[in-house]
A and B are shown apart, each in its own frame.
Chain A
Amino acid sequence: MVLVRNLRPPTEGVRHEEANTTAVLSGQQLGCGTLYVAETRLSWFDGSGMGFSLEYPSISLHAISRDVSAYPEEHLYVMVNGKLGGEGEAEMTEKAAEEEDDDGSDSSNGDEEEVITEIRFVPRDKASLESMFSAMCECQALHPDPDDEDSDNDFEGEEYNVEEAEYGHADVPTFYTCDEGLSSLTQEGQATLERLEGMLAQSVAQQYHMAGVRTEETKAEFEDGMEVDAAVAEAGQFEDADVEH
């Protein structure tokens, strides 16, 4: 979490950009500027180049507030772990806050004094609040807690590679099951995969129709997967087949 001058707005991975957005930091109006919801960080800059940048792991929560009795304007509320101070101060207070967090999570009476910063982003266009919120949700999900020791998340690469097991080789991939395969997908392929998995998760028994979205790389995979037939054992069997809707 850094308060800086002359830092340029992010150009890559910007999920949402909202101009004419006022930032209110701990109750203090910073003026009108542009909010950038990027995959790497959340930033806001006014016209003069002054602004601030937040790292997602430091964000505790964010919300859409439409309750004008609590705050007179509809806005995006962001709660940040730690104290956002002046230049140079910010880094030091962030480290202090992190130490405080560690102490706080161990002792039962320590977290009461956890320092937080409240930021409100008030866009001129209230209709943008949903997109701003969703973009933040997506980006936040990209930054899972690295300090999480409780979860046994050590499953990288252990996914059972069917191709490897059945054909004795994994170098001619027509069917991916592990993360390596996921990274081979194009962006479109990844989006298609996610959409399909989402649909499957909803209801396997439900009838559904595929939109005609196909990519070269995933064609065989989905042709195979689309056939709800226990007899289908070979991947690529339907590579030539017409798509059935």
Chain B
Amino acid sequence: MAAGVAAWLPFARAAAIGWMPVANCPMPLAPTDKNKRQDELIVLNVSGRRFETWRTTLERYPDTLLGSTEKEFFFNEDTKEYFFDRDPEVFRCVLNFYRTGKLHYPRYECISAYDDELAFYGILPEIIGDCCYEEYKDRKRENAERLQDDLDSENNQESMPSLSFRQTMWRAFENPHTSTMALVFYYVTGFFIAVSVITNVVETVPCGTVPGSKELPCGERYSVAFFCLDTACVMIFTVEYLLRLFAAPSRYRFIRSVMSIIDVVAIMPYYIGLVMTNNEDVSGAFVTLRVFRVFRIFKFSRHSQGLRILGYTLKSCASELGFLLFSLTMAIIIFATVMFYAEKGSSASKFTSIPASFWYTIVTMTTLGYGDMVPKTIAGKIFGSICSLSGVLVIALPVPVIVSNFSRIYHQNQRADKRRAQKKARLARIRVAKTGSSNAYLHSKRNGLLNEALELMGTPEEAHVGKTTSLIESQHHHLLHCLEKTTVSPSPATPTPPPPLSGFRTHILKLVQLQKSKSVPFRVKSSEEAPEEWAVTEVGPALPCSALRPHPTLHPSHGPFSVTEAKGSACQSPSSNGQISRSCYGPQRRISGGPTLVLGDAL
């Protein structure tokens, strides 16, 4: 039932009056509206933009955020409105969904931002209306492809230390940039493929005459040299094939793959030639087999991305190519028949049969026009011209489709490469930023002495002066600090950051004694404390940090703050060797109240 029609439910219920008098049994009780509120306007403030709508509009979809009580979490008591800190543009579409029952996807919006917003409001994207659904699906697919590309390239780049030898070898074969060995292998095989192809070609070139016999092709004149070259190439190819076979994760699949078949076909003729000696009967077949050696040129497709794209394009345009072939065949048969009958009358006509006319039709339709078969009658000439004109059209039609497919795939590949390069640069920048922040942490650890000393004085102005970091950063640092304290061993042999000045130490002691007289910000029950709990140990690094071990009776969901509270230690020794350590309270001190960020504030 659409949302808008829900407003007509009272009418439908009223229309049931027609059933009442004819009913034989009593009717069930009607459901009552327990909290029958008058319909009211509610204000939704989304990042400052105010939207208003009726409460019942939102309640049409009770399983979304706005339709359920979940929106009460966002209710602002002071302004009596619901505040969402989200994008107002997308909220417009979301609210329109409640109003009209149709969810639209704006084209200018980024697909992942839109998806995030929908997920926040609890709306499934599948209910996008038909008008926008196709656009949404296209964009989603492109995004998924982009993510997949990133994931693939990431997988390629991450160094998994525990790869077996076989897996490393396979990766080296697939991606030559992983190691220098792979690169060397890549270039070597490429070189030998080129050598092999060139020898095949040069073999047949006539090479000058040997006195006393006719002109020989080079292959027969320098047969030994060529045989050695061929042997070398085939050996390299064989070794490569066997290595690939060994390294392949699924040998069965590898054997069935196209490249492996090409490899096999490329090297088989040599072995067959070895096996068969100069047996006159089969040497004819053997010569034919040598043709297959030219397939070695396809091995270049591992080395050339453009060739792979071409192959992929042809595969993906199979239907267009099939259509081209089919229409050409139809046209050829038609025109061949017509030409045959048109030329039947003329004497000495080359158009002896319809199949013989096929050759003429093909040559004419592809605008080759060899001229070996030419119509002589007038009718033949007329039909011949029609044939050549239509040939141009039939061939020109599917070609742009194939071209556009190729262009699309090629550009996609280029885009993927560009994205990978950009990603590398981006990751490098992120790495620099990260190291920057961790440097900041170490830096602040050293300065932590200074900061804590200033905090102890209790005057806010001086504390602020000492604060070189923001609150969030200082809380983050405190967290890391606590982790350090948790995991540091109680032994004294820990490396120290530069020791503070001795004068500074006495300054700290004085501050500590000062603190006793004031209300301590990091102690919850100040009334219970006794002054002697402020015993300051100057040495003895061991004691304070044991307090940071988690207390067994504590609720496990509390963070490190409450742990230290319960143990009663306000252990904020600035350095791990505990040079200045305010020692812990008694270990059984229990602090009531929840996990307040008391320690964090104090830091």
Partners in one complex: no
Residues of B within 8 A of A (CB): none
Residues of A within 8 A of B (CB): none
